[in-house]
Structure 1
Amino acid sequence: MSDDLSIRSDDTGFDRVLAFTVPSRNARGRVVRLGPVLETVLSAHTYPKVVKHVLAEALVLSALMGSLLKDEDAQLTFQAQAEGGAVDLLVCDYRNGELRGYLRHDPDLAEALEEGCSLEAIFGTGYLAITFDLAATGARYQGIVPLEGESLAQACETYFAQSEQVPTLIRVSVRSNEPRCVAGGLLVQHFPDGEEGRERLHVQDQHPDWEHVAVMAGSIRPEELVDPVLNLEELVWRIFHEEDEVRVEPLLPLQRGCRCTVEYYREILSRFPEAERLDMRDETGMIPVDCAFCSKILHIPA
């Protein structure tokens, strides 16, 4: 694997999501690799190494799952809340190719964490909530699972098994060598309804097609997911090159997206009673708003 991160993002797959299907196996998936966008999100705060790794993993998972949404302006929110550990809050979301994320932690406890520790060591006791907001219909779907296992990816596999009953394999890799951080991920699923126009497929973990796909996808090595020389199309081909057909579709390029504008917060503050807004003012007569996602302080007219 090369350490050269200067290759153009459109050649390597940095900050891209690639959709793919394996029609003969009734499988679909996403593969993503984050580079500059990940660095931008992480640079908003000073995170110890282990919690930086956790936030990078959460951003990869948000891109993988969020890109499954088909409707414009639909949003995925990935939120972990816990107590008794180094991290008590983690929030990421994905909408129209825009990613943002934030993690709140105890600096002393976070510095003491060892690489490769479990979710319990990082979070203590808590839960992971995955929420899909569909702008076209206004519908909201949410699944909640315990923060258990060795990784957030494992918790997300539990979410798909319990909340959506869709056999799902997820692999995430993070390389956090200073000063750069690169992360990649792979998500593969059994089609819940088969291909469009076909009869509904009975989805089950023991289905021969799914067993085959899971073995092939599970063979991916962590270093391949973050290798800047291996583009996303080549990565998918390495896994499924023995199949009759593999269809790929590049999705929206990824970017850091934050809604911290004066207009956005003015609209939110307008929902508060006037007396409360007056109490929020500082000595300049403005309302200071601290955006946790990008670490900016905006001053909003009261």
Structure 2
Amino acid sequence: MVDVSLTDSIMSFAIPGKHCRGRVVRLGPALDDILASHDYPPLIREILAEAVCLTAMLGALLKDEGSQLTLQAQTEAGVINLLACDYRDGALRGYVDFDRERLLSQPVAPSLMALFGKGYLAITFDQPAPRGRNQGIVPLEGASLAEAVQNYFFQSEQIPTLIRVAIEQSAGGISAGGLLVQHLPEGEQGRERLHVQLDHPEWEHVEIMGGTITPEELTDSALPLEDILWRLFSESDEVRVLSGKPCVKGCRCNEDHIRDVIARFPKEDKEDMVNEDGNIAIDCAFCSKTFTITGTSLNN
């Protein structure tokens, strides 16, 4: 049995009496491993940490093994050129490409607009058939990425949602914690939502209680995740802990995978990829590694 009560874990829960479901996550060493692949300045580390935490909570909404959640910021004239994270079966990865010179000219706490420009957030759910792929795109508006994702559920999915994320950076590393709660009116998980009422009394109560969570509680690695749920909701409601799942750094690139991808290209395209040494060099932005595929593989 994996202990998923403290850090690098996601816990799923339900509040049946209020027709709500949720996820609570805390990340520590796994997040450090993701960020260690690049020499990110503190502000970029914090942005990526928030994005990875959000990706973990969103990915945990997927039920089928092998499903993938991808969160990507599409930017226009911002300091950040690209932000991409994904989740699959507890494995997380993330990457940010940004303009270092423009970042130096920003204030201590730049706005979301300053960092991303006129940006958009694309959230893609890739699931096995018959569900397939579903993508929603919303403007990057609000005070944080968490607020932008919360707006996604209101605008694209019509699901009342509360999201809170906290980041703590220290000499010992970085940690992140997040809470996501959603109202499923007229039924539990698995039943059709007959209507959505943002001011439903059930949801108002849960939203108020969930909003009392503090950043310290979310990032405190000594505080079990179950204790967070009981502090917030159990005084007036039954809270069911449904499952727990560990999180790890999960860059999926390896030599076999890259060979397989290259093999799908036409012979002419593969020849264009070959460098002066007769090999193909592939850089992985997520893990900051270069994979060299030797010429002997190119004729396959």
User: If the length of structure 1 is used for normalisation, what is the TM-score?
Assistant: 0.92
Question: Structure 2 residue aligned with 1:28, among 17, 21, 25?
Answer: 21
> Are 1:43 and 2:22 counterparts?
no
| Distance in 2 separating the partners of 1:230 and 1:111 | 36
> Are 1:278 and 2:282 counterparts?
no
Q: Does the 8 Å CA contact 1:183/1:225 hold for their aligned counterparts? A: yes
Query: Partner residue of 1:180?
Result: 173
Q: Does the 8 Å CA contact 2:184/2:193 hold for their aligned counterparts? A: no
Query: Partner residue of 2:66?
Result: 73
Q: Does the 8 Å CA contact 2:25/2:178 hold for their aligned counterparts? A: yes
Query: Partner residue of 1:86?
Result: 79
| Distance in 2 separating the partners of 1:278 and 1:67 | 41
What per-residue deviation string (whole Å, max 9, x for no partner) do you get for residues 76-130 of structure 1?
0000011222101000000111100000001122234344432101111111000
Question: Structure 1 residue aligned with 2:258, among 237, 259, 265?
Answer: 265
Q: Secondary structure at the match of 1:37?
A: helix
Q: Does the 8 Å CA contact 1:16/1:250 hold for their aligned counterparts? A: no
Question: Structure 2 residue aligned with 1:148, among 94, 118, 141?
Answer: 141
Query: Partner residue of 1:4?
Result: none
After superposition, residues 1-302 of structure 1 pair within 5 angstroms as: 10=3, 13-137=6-130, 139-192=132-185, 194-195=187-188, 200-301=193-294, 302=298
Q: Does the 8 Å CA contact 1:32/1:64 hold for their aligned counterparts? A: yes
| Distance in 2 separating the partners of 1:198 and 1:106 | 46
Distance of aligned partners of 1:193 and 1:43 in 2 relative to their CA distance in 1, 3 Å threshold? farther
What per-residue deviation string (whole Å, max 9, x for no partner) do you get for residues 174-225 of structure 1?
0122340000000000015512587855321110000000000001011110
**Once structures 1 and 2 are overlaid, which stretch shifts more, 167-176 or 254-263?**
254-263
CA RMSD of aligned residues (A): 1.8
CA drift of 1:13 comes to 1.9
What per-residue deviation string (whole Å, max 9, x for no partner) do you get for residues 257-302 of structure 1?
1111111111111222112211211233210000000000001233
| Distance in 1 separating the partners of 2:281 and 2:191 | 55
| Distance in 1 separating the partners of 2:186 and 2:73 | 30
Percent identity between the aligned chains?
A: 53
Distance of aligned partners of 1:124 and 1:193 in 2 relative to their CA distance in 1, 3 Å threshold? same
| Distance in 1 separating the partners of 2:157 and 2:98 | 31
One-letter identity of the residue aligned with 1:108: E
**Once structures 1 and 2 are overlaid, which stretch shifts more, 237-246 or 150-159?**
237-246
Q: Secondary structure at the match of 2:245?
A: coil
Gaps of 5+ in 1: 1-8
Q: Does the 8 Å CA contact 2:124/2:136 hold for their aligned counterparts? A: yes
Q: Does the 8 Å CA contact 1:289/1:299 hold for their aligned counterparts? A: yes
Distance of aligned partners of 1:100 and 1:190 in 2 relative to their CA distance in 1, 3 Å threshold? same
Q: Does the 8 Å CA contact 2:5/2:226 hold for their aligned counterparts? A: no
| Distance in 1 separating the partners of 2:197 and 2:118 | 30
Q: Secondary structure at the match of 1:229?
A: coil
Q: Does the 8 Å CA contact 2:4/2:245 hold for their aligned counterparts? A: no
| Distance in 2 separating the partners of 1:12 and 1:109 | 40
Query: Partner residue of 1:5?
Result: none
CA drift of 1:143 comes to 0.4
Gaps of 5+ in 2: none
User: If the length of structure 2 is used for normalisation, what is the TM-score?
Assistant: 0.93
Q: Does the 8 Å CA contact 2:70/2:125 hold for their aligned counterparts? A: yes
**Once structures 1 and 2 are overlaid, which stretch shifts more, 192-201 or 228-237?**
192-201
